[in-house]
Amino acid sequence: MSNPARQVNSRRLPPLPGMNKAGNSAKTSHPRSPRSGSYGAYLGQTHDRHVDMMVKGHSPHSNHNGQLKQHLSADYDGHSSPELTLSQDTVTAYLDDNPDYLENYIQSRVSQDQLERWLIRRTHKHHTRHKHGKKSPVNGEIIQDERRESLSRWKFCVHADKRKMLQDLTREIHQHPNKAQVLSELAGCIASAVNADGFNLYLVDDSGQELYHYKPGSSHTKDSSSCTRRIAPGSTLAAYVASAGDTIRVDEILEDERFPEGIVVGGSIAQTVLAQPIVHANGELSGVIELYRNVGGAPFAEEDEEIINSYIVWGSIAVYYAEMYHTMTKQRKLNDFLLAVTRSIFQDIVSMDTVIMKIMNYAKKLVLADRASLFLVDTKTSELYARIFDTGDHYDENSPKPVRSQKEIRFPMDKGVAGHVASTGQILNIQDAYADERFNRDVDLQTGYTTKTILCMPIFIRGSIIGVVQMVNKLSGVFTKSDEESFEMFAVYCGLALHHAKLYDKIRRSEQKYKVALEVLSYHSQCSDEEFESLRNKPVPDELPSLVRYEFSPWAVDNDDKPLYVIYMFRDLFCMARYDMETLYKFTLTIRKNYRTVPYHNWSHAFSVAHAMYTIIKTTKNKFSPLEALGLFVACLCHDLDHRGKTNAFMVKSASPLAAIYSTSTMEHHHFNQTVTILQHEGHNIFKHMSSEEYKQVLGDIRHCILATDLALFFGNKAKLKDMHEKNTFEWDNTEHRKYIQAIAMTGCDLCASIKPWDVQRETVRVIFEEFYAQVGFIVGICLPCYELLAQMMPETRPMVDGASANLKKWKELAEIQKQAEEDKKKEDVHHGKENGDGSDKDNLTEKKKQEQKLP
């Protein structure tokens, strides 16, 4: 396209004012412009009719002052006019007086692209003057001019081709309303508008720290990009522009040391490059557009920058509405998701485990995680615990039973990632788990699973943290800020679900307790008035010296006299000034009545255990405080209340109501609950004269001691007490240390049948065989270790070790006799060919009875 100045050189100007068509200098008959006068008004002095005109102050080839030589062939009489020199002001005045001529000239001789460049240059110069303060705003004058010029420029730029581009772009946005697609289509339109040979679009990732190359048709994520760079100088042009925030024009991309990697993607023969940052109105960087022209192409100019800016004005609006559409769509999907969560959880609250599994399942779907864990807070112990874990298997909501771990896991609230979140209430989004010192690698080592990313979120209810949900390994990339926001809203529903699940669990437990209470009341009742009067009328012995002996046989005492012996032991141990005798009578008789008629765990067993504890308290001479001794004695008396003759394992497997109420130490919890129930009966509270603090301490000791009779807890208590003894760290003044002594003493008293004389031991053991296991292994594995540790801590209990050892020797002898008899029987069967013949079992039973009768 030719330069407009050259077009002026080749065009004859219209007759100047004062010249007629014939070229005469007579006065024209046409009216003059206000600024026109004689011919000299433009030319000054009149010369010959053939004029050579030089316009001073303008060069057709540059913006510098110079001279424009213009030959005017004003053929007045067929002769050439002399050369005439015109000033720039003269031509300007002439064009001002002849706007029609100027308009006709521009429409016929100047291209549309050139006009656009002129307008862009004019606007750019105006902004530059305003920016440097060369003209200050007066009454909003400049602001109005800027708006008018900006609007004119925008309308001017949107000619037929660009209008079609924008229509196509609008149609594409409507079909694919997402930020990446809008910017990609916008970059394509800009490349076409500035005649670029190619373009690249880089988007900022969610962290705001890196750029990644966007390719149309990709998954719109950084992971699918072939090029990713950190936003910082020293690498690519795009990274430099994103870091600086300015537009960069480069004529020789390979020669610029600021970006040694150049443009990286595409444009292998690119030479001149223009890079423009895409910045929102709030200053947030969205991406960078790279435009390039290949070798031989013209460099980009300021006009190209203005064209890009004009497109980005519209593009920013499009991106804003695209993001708004995306946000609304995402929110609608989240609302639908939360509605499904609410419907699934609250319509089918079967148990806490079911709710936990559903929460973990939905949490994985929400943020596209591979694994999920839910830890609940135990405020009493300041620990986090979990009993259900996600192993990566598919969870079926219709399954009646959730996947449950074999063992509950507990750890302090200040340990690990979950512990940090539970302690601080802060959300943790860890993009590299192994780089975070709070992450515990032992779990990965044990399971063979590799943890990469973690999103951990606290669950609140009424302002308190009740749990922590931990998402592990996002399926693609890392957890984003959007994932945090969605999961934070989901956590609110999790808190409500867990809260209602706990309420439901409490209601369910209350129903089970009600059933158990009805069952107990149908079998038991309080002592009768006749029983009370009978016991009250019996005199309590002043002395029973034979009682303070470990070898004393409680089974030799008549069943009706046992309550009287209990009263005696109670009175002998404690000062009766604080206790009411009638209340003690009723309490003791009702305790006896609440023991069922079972082979071993009956009233006689309770009496023998209470006697054993009485003997320990008497012989150890005030090792325990009066309140501790009271708790130990009452706990022994009540430790098997309402025992059904079945083990805890049987109660759980048979799905009894008791197992539904107490998941661990089932029967022991029930025994303590029965103790409290009896104390609450009218006229049965033997602790009624105690202060509230003393009452609380005694009940706590009774509960601790009764639960200690669960053999599942014995081994842990024994190990801890033994460790303290071996390290010489045990202190009698330490309350916690004494609790371990109490626990071991309770176990020793509960097994006291194994320390009695052989004739007593042999009779009681026949009953034990019906409920437990071989007596030799029982004494070696449990009884002797218990009594030996007890004797080390309290030497006065050494007779318990001696009694158990003597009985063990007898049982070993019996075991050898039985073993030899069985071997002889097998040989005899083989000899007669009756190894599996009829009647062999009957013969074995007969032989066993014979061997028992041979015992001394």
Give the active site residues: 601
The CA–CA distances, whole Å, from 192 to 162, 293, 311, 771 equal 9, 12, 11, 92
Q: Are 19 and 39 in contact (CB under 8 A)?
A: yes
SS3 category, 383: strand
Nearest alpha carbon to residue 752 among 548, 552, 547, 546: 552
Determine the 3-state secondary structure of 381 from DSSP.
Answer: coil
Between CA 91 and CA 67 the distance in angstroms is 12
Distances (CA, A) of 328 to 333, 481, 540: 9, 17, 85
Burial bucket for residue 458 (CB in 10 Å: 0-12, 13-18, 19+)? buried
| DSSP assignments along 454-482, one per residue | EEEEEEEETTEEEEEEEEEEESSS---HH
CA 426 → CA 194, 417, 459, 469, 498, distances in Å? 50, 11, 10, 12, 20
CA angle 281, 287, 293 (to 5 degrees): 120
* Those residues with Cβ within 8 angstroms of residue 258's Cβ, 6 or more apart along the chain or in another chain: 233, 240
The residue type at 387: R
The residue type found at 21 is K
Alpha-carbon distance of 846 to 380, in angstroms, equals 57
Distance, in Å, from the CA atom of 357 to the CA atom of 359, rounded to the nearest integer, reads 5
Neighbouring-strand partners of residue 387: none
Q: φ, ψ for residue 846 (rounded to 5)?
A: -65, -40
Q: 């070696």: which residue's tokens? A: 780
Are 596 and 622 in contact, with CB atoms under 8 Å apart? no
Amino acid at 596: R
Distance CA 557, CA 702 (A): 26
**Angle, nearest 10°, between helix axes 603-619 and 735-750?**
130
In order, the DSSP letters of 698-744 are: HHHHHHHHHHHT-HHHHHHHHHHHHHHHHTT---TT-HHHHHHHHHH
What 8-state DSSP symbol labels residue 780?
Answer: I
Q: 756: closest CA among 791, 787, 710, 777? A: 787
Taking the C-alpha atoms of residue 716 and residue 739, their distance in angstroms, rounded to an integer, is 13
List residues bridging with 272 in a β-sheet.
293
Report d(CA 540, CA 568) in Å as an integer. 6
Coil, strand or helix at 82? coil
Which contiguous run of DSSP H or E holds residue 52? strand 51-56
Say if residues 825 and 843 touch (Cβ distance below 8 Å): yes
| Look-up of token digits 């009067």 | 533
Name which of 287, 364, 272 is nearest 323 in CA terms: 287
Both ends of the chain: CA-CA distance in Å? 131
Q: How many angstroms separate the CA atoms of 287 and 275, rounded?
A: 11
The CB density around residue 490, as the number of other CB atoms within 10 Å, is: 22
Specify the pairing of strand 83-87 against strand 51-56. Answer: parallel
